[in-house]
Every structure is written in structure tokens, then in C-alpha cells.
Structure 1
Amino acid sequence: MIVVVANGLPPAVRGRMKLWFVEPRANVFVSGVKDSVANQVVDYLLTHCPNEAGGIIFKSLSFPPGYEVRTIGIPDKKLCEISGLQLVIEKILES
């Protein structure tokens, strides 16, 4: 499974994404394509999306931790890695 959440995709990329994905909400794409197609889609997004697209790609893996997180451009939310586990930072609490 692969999930793409973007701030804004170019119209050509968005149209191409609709070939393989369901778009339940604007700029949120979900699909259960095979791993080889998912890799091609990720490569396509990384090469054809400008930094302004700012998105996050969640891709399922068959080994722990079970998913991979990649970014397109500069996303609104930051990523961090703790003990090999990729996480999305929602809010930083000040102590």
C-alpha cells in the first residue's frame, strides 16, 4: 500500500496519479499497487514534483518497521527517526 499526502501537485502529476490511486480528499492519494509499481510511482513523484509540492509518501514494506516515509520537496510536517523508526512530528512541546 502507498499513501501520498501533498500540499499541491502540478496538474499533470495529479492526473497521472489518478491512474493508480483513489483520491479520497484533495491531494491525498491511496493505492494498493504492487511494490514494483509503488517504487516507480515514488521515483516519478520525486523527479516530477517541485519543492513547492511539499508532501509525504508512506509506503508499506514487507520487513520491520513495515513502512517507509519519504518526502517531496519541503513538507509542512517534519520527520524524525527514533531507533530506526520514522515518525512524523505533529507538535513540539516546550519544556
Structure 2
Amino acid sequence: MLVVVANDLPPAVRGRMKLWFVEPRANVFVSGVKDSVAKTVVDYLYQHCPPESGVVIFRSLPKPPGYEVRTVGPTRKALTEISGLQLVIETLKNQ
């Protein structure tokens, strides 16, 4: 499975993504493509998305921990790695 979340994709990239993925929300793409196709899509995103796109890519892997997180450019939420697990940092706002 491949999930792509972006702040803002170029129109040509977004149109191409709609060919392979379901877009449940704007700039959120989900697909169950095979690993070889997922690698091709990730390579395409790295080649065609400028850093200001803020892309986060979640890809399932057949080995532990079962997923990989990659980014293109700065994102709204920071990533960290703890004991080999890649995690997205959520900040709590004061209520």
C-alpha cells in the first residue's frame, strides 16, 4: 500500500496521481499498488515535486516495522525515529 499526503502538488503531478490512486481528500492519495509500482511512483514524486510541495510518503514494506516514511521538502509535521520506528510528531495545542 502507498499513501501520499502533500501540502500542495503541481497540477500535472496531481493529475497523474489521480490515475493510480484514490483521492479521499485534496492532496491525499491512497493506493494498493505492488511494490515495484510503488517504487516507480516514489521516484516520480522525487523527480517532479519541488520542495515546497511538502510531500509525505507512507509505503508498506514486507519486513518490520512494516512501513517506511519518506518526505519531499519540509512538511507541516515533523518526523522522528525512535528505536527504528519512523513516527510523525503531533503537537498538542493548549485548550
Q: Tell me the TM-score range normalised by the shorter chain.
A: over 0.9
Same amino acid, percent of matched pairs: 76
How far off its partner does 1:92 sit?
7.1
Give TM-score scaled by structure 1 length: 0.94
Q: Kindly provide the amino acid, as one letter, of the partner of residue 37 in structure 1.
A: V
Letter aligned with residue 89 of structure 2: I
Aligned residues: 93
Deviation string, structure 1 residues 44-92 (Cα, Å, up to 9, x no partner): 0011100110021000000000000000111111100001100000117
The gaps in structure 2 that reach 5 residues or longer are: none
Q: Which residue of 2 aligns with 1:13?
A: 13
Question: 4+ runs of 1 displaced by more than 3 Å?
Answer: none
Write the mapping of 1:72-87 to structure 2, written as runs, cut at 5 A.
72-87=72-87
What secondary structure, in the 3-state scheme, does the structure 2 residue paired with 1:38 have? helix
After superposition, the CA RMSD in angstroms is 1.2
Question: How far apart in 2 are the matches of 1:90 and 1:82?
Answer: 14
TM-score (norm 2): 0.94
Partner of 2:55: 55
